[in-house]
A and B are shown apart, each in its own frame.
Chain A
Amino acid sequence: MSQKHEGWGWMLAVDFFFAGMGGAMLVIAGIVDLFVGEGRTSALASFLGAAFMALGSGLLIFELGRPFQSWRVFMNPRAILTVGAWVMSLAICAGLVYTTFSFAVFPWSDWVLVRKLVAVVIVVSGLIVATYPGVLLGRLKGRPLWVGPGMTSLFLTSSLVTAFAAHILCGMIVAPATIGDVLARFPAITAVLLAVQLLLWVSYMWVKISGATEAEAVAARRLLCGEYSSAFKYGLMLVGTVLPLLLVLVSSPLYQAAGAILVLVGGFILRMLVIYAGGADRTWLPGEVKYRSRLPHGDEAFMKAWNEKEFWTTNK
């Protein structure tokens, strides 16, 4: 138990990672289907897109204080989380339906018009799923690391780049339905997106440190030089962005696969960093940091003693 302000934990970060990636995987699958001639991506990718989202939502349920009441999150249409829950459910269903079109056992597998319609649905819903965590965080006014529109583009970019990486990996395992030169272009697109991600983070930090409130500057500085700085610099930037950027450009499936895996690692680190570094920080009110730092953390001798029920009766 900690008297420090508590926030979301790793399960939410993992949810954001899988849901973002899964949503964007469907977006990519849908777009390729709709706009790239006869191009179809790997059936595994669209299945995993849906499955990842389902996995993420599952974790999210365990993050709840009362998991068995989780159905209640569909109840307030004004809340972003409610919108997200509805859209994610839709995307999961649509993603699974879309996957069936790859298998001839399903009688509807050659109904092209229906497939295209479902593709539209997965593009739209997947895009929302890939984007909304950024909107959710960016709207939290008292959270200086998150507040503002920047988080949206960071999350969307990361979702897309992890999704491309996942597609590359899926394509290697289960060949796409129609091989065009579509899949071959994914490494290059991944590289471009990684470059964009790098640029976005640099500018995001720059804006936070120089342009906005003092609290935002403090929060950004904690990421750059504080307790999270090595995870940020070496984990997210070096291992998760720059290194895979170089690897995917090498025209060898082995290197590309390694690069794709690093992209996934980077995407995961990003979610963890953003959730933990941003959640620990609030725009503190005057005197609040000192007040909270002086409260017991829960591991003090008196707390431990008093948590044991029998303590007082035996200590007499």
Chain B
Amino acid sequence: MARYAMVFDIRRCIGCHSCTVACRTKNELPMDMIYNPVTTVGPTGVYPNLSMVHLPLICMHCDNPPCVDACPTGASQRRDDGIVFVEDKKCVGCLACVMACPYGARVKNHESGAVQKCDFCKDRVDEGKLPYCVLTCHQKARVFGDLDDETSEVYKLVNGERTVRLLAELGTEPYAFYIYG
């Protein structure tokens, strides 16, 4: 069984928001829903000694997902390959998962009443394609793959580069890894 993960190379991200827009159009999301914002930290320092990084955010597809535990209906699920998703018809929109997610990855769709989130484009992944944000990223700042496969690029990056995980101290075991360089 695969274990899917995404690696973000912060050295490459330029904060162009392509992924945000690509995801929004691909998934036909209403205006108030963003699966994958890219924040900007900086410029920090005092002119002209500055630095600036951009931080792409997404559902972290945690190994220990608090949203799945919090969901009273069983709509929030984690597949064996690690993809966390919402089974739309089971969701009642109680927002327990929204409140449980420390990463702000979940949003309620006001049109349907249900909660939605990034599902790593599981339909595409099941067809052997990349998640759309990964394909669309010009800068190749996103790498997606199977962490159980020792030949995969994500395996090499996670085991070869210095990666960090966001809010790792919460014990959610996110499967999104960040290379700060």
Direct contact between A and B judged by beta carbons closer than 8 A: yes
Asked whether any CB of chain B lies closer than 8 Å to the CB of A2, the reply is yes
Given A1-B31, A285-B103, A296-B31; A65-B115 close (CB under 8 Å): yes
Per the bound structure, the CA–CA distance linking A5 and B97 in Å amounts to 13
Chain A nearest CB, measured from B149 CB (Å) = 29
- Cβ–Cβ < 8 Å partners of B66 in chain A: 139-141
Number of A-B contacts (CB under 8 A): 134
**Of residues A1, A70, A136, A285, which shows the largest number of chain B Cβ atoms within 10 Å of its Cβ?**
A285
Name the segment of B35-43, B120-128, B153-161 touching the other chain: B35-43
Number of interface residues of A (CB under 8 A): 45
Q: Which residues of A contact B101 (CB under 8 A)?
A: 142
Are B102 and A142 in contact, CB atoms less than 8 angstroms apart? yes
Which of A66, A67, A140, A290 is close to B100, meaning CB atoms less than 8 Å apart?
A140
A1-B31, A66-B91, A142-B167 known; A290 and B39 CB under 8 Å? yes
Who on chain A is nearest to B93 by CB?
A: A65
CA distance A140 to B91 in the complex (A): 19
Chain A residues near B135 (CB-CB < 8 A): none
Per the 8 Å Cβ criterion, residues 25-84 of A in contact with B are: 63-67, 69-70, 72-76, 78-82
A95–B31 alpha-carbon span in the complex (Å): 46
* A272-304 interface (Cβ within 8 A of B): 279, 282-283, 285-288, 290-292, 295-296, 298, 303
A208: interface (CB < 8 Å): no
Smallest CB gap from A81: residue in B: B72
Is chain B's binding surface mostly helix, strand, loop or mixed? loop
Q: Chain A contact residues: over half helix, strand or loop, or mixed?
A: loop
Q: How far is the CA of A139 from the CA of B66 in the complex (A)?
A: 9
| Residue A258 is within 8 A (CB to CB) of chain B in the complex | no
A230 is an interface residue with CB less than 8 A from chain B: no
| Interface footprint category on B | 35 or more
Taking a contact as CB atoms under 8 Å apart, the answer to whether A79 and B72 are in contact is: yes
B94 at the interface (CB under 8 A from A): yes
Closest to B169 in A: A213
B1-47 residues at the A interface, CB under 8 angstroms: 31-32, 34, 37-41
B114 beta carbon closer than 8 Å to chain A: yes
Interface residues of A in 134-159 (CB under 8 A from B): 136, 139-143
Residues of A within 8 A of B113 (CB): 64-66
Q: Which residue of B lies closest to A275 (CB)?
A: B99
- Asked if A2 and B102 make an inter-chain contact with CB atoms under 8 angstroms apart, the answer reads no
Q: Is A251 an interface residue when CB atoms closer than 8 A count as contact?
A: no
Q: Of A2, A75, A140, which one neighbours B72 at CB under 8 angstroms?
A: A75
Q: Is the CB of A63 within 8 A of B94?
A: yes
Separation of A144 and B90 alpha carbons in the complex (Å): 29
Is B170 part of the binding interface, using a Cβ–Cβ cutoff of 8 Å? yes
A5 partner, pick from B69, B100, B104, B110, beta carbons under 8 A = B104
A108 on the interface (CB 8 Å rule)?
no
Which of A7, A75, A142 has the largest count of B CB atoms less than 10 A from its CB?
A: A142
B32 touches A3 (CB 8 A): yes
Chain B residues with CB under 8 A of A196: none
Report yes or no: A72 in contact with B167, Cβ–Cβ below 8 A: no
Q: For A74, what are the chain B residues with a Cβ–Cβ distance below 8 Å? A: 72
Most-contacted residue by chain A among B31, B55, B91 (CB, 10 A): B31
Q: Which of A70, A285, A298, A303 contacts B55 (CB 8 A)?
A: A285
Are A81 and B92 in contact (CB-based, < 8 A)? no
A142, B170: Cβ atoms under 8 Å? yes
A3 CA to B32 CA, complexed, in Å: 5
Residue from the list B72, B93, B115 in contact with A76, Cβ < 8 A: B72
Query: A76-B71, A142-B100 known; 18 other A-B pairs, CB under 8 Å?
Result: A3-B31, A6-B95, A6-B107, A7-B98, A64-B92, A70-B92, A73-B72, A73-B92, A74-B72, A79-B69, A81-B96, A136-B96, A142-B104, A143-B99, A279-B99, A282-B102, A283-B102, A290-B40
A-B contact pairs, 11 of them (CB 8 A): A5-B98, A6-B108, A64-B92, A65-B113, A72-B72, A140-B99, A142-B167, A282-B102, A287-B39, A291-B38, A292-B37
Closest 4 CB pairs of A and B: A65-B93, A142-B102, A287-B39, A65-B113
